[in-house]
Amino acid sequence: MKKPIILFDLDGTLIDSTEAIVSSFCDTFDDFDMPKPKREEILRYIGYTLEDMFKSLGVSNGHIDKCVIRYKEHYRQRSLSMTDLLPDAKEAVEIAYSFARLGIVTTKTGRYSKEILEHLGIMRYFEVLIGREDVFHPKPHKEPIEKALHYMNTSTLNTWMIGDTKLDLICAKSADVNAIGVLSGYGEYEELKRYCDNIQENSLVAVRYILQNYTK
């Protein structure tokens, strides 16, 4: 019997790096003498690529690349000290690992994501981590999930994607895998419900749902 596949998003799904993200954006805007966006504006776009976030926050195309580089410099310095596992996230991963094969699909930089998960003590549970630099087309495109399944040498059958934003859910639908939206992060219930019927409180509840309902 093949084990099911569970793919997790990171920010808002397993980890909370909100303060590291917000402060890194604010410092980057300060570095280039640009008006800082409001906190809620930054939060609204977490889950998108850095390029899309800076564009949505009003940075012109000609300045986006240097802003991304500077942001990564700030984020790298504080990502470990300012990132924690979400409540129940470790238990969710441990239970999932007991019956499924696991992967990470994120728009964060893969290198930094691995460092964070190693620091938090859970990277060993995951067979693959697909980050922004690993794909041409990030979420909501289906490529990140397809690439994760390719590396895991498996198909979409009995595969689940757990994430906190519409990007995760659209990606899952496009890749023809099961999706579960979680309310532990940045997506609002009404928005998530437009893209997925299965909305759970957090990753632990989502994993328990999969354990009870996957096709054996």
What is the Cα–Cα distance from 123 to 109, expressed in whole angstroms?
15
Q: Positive or negative, the Cα torsion across 154, 157, 158, 159? A: positive
**Residue 114 half-sphere exposure, CB side, CA atoms within 13 Å?**
11
Assess whether 9 carries a catalytic annotation.
yes
What is the Cα–Cα distance from 148 to 144, expressed in whole angstroms?
6
Query: Taking the CB of residue 176, how many other CB atoms lie within 10 A of it?
Result: 13
Annotated active-site residue in 9, 11, 164, 168: 9
User: Which residues are catalytically annotated?
Assistant: 9
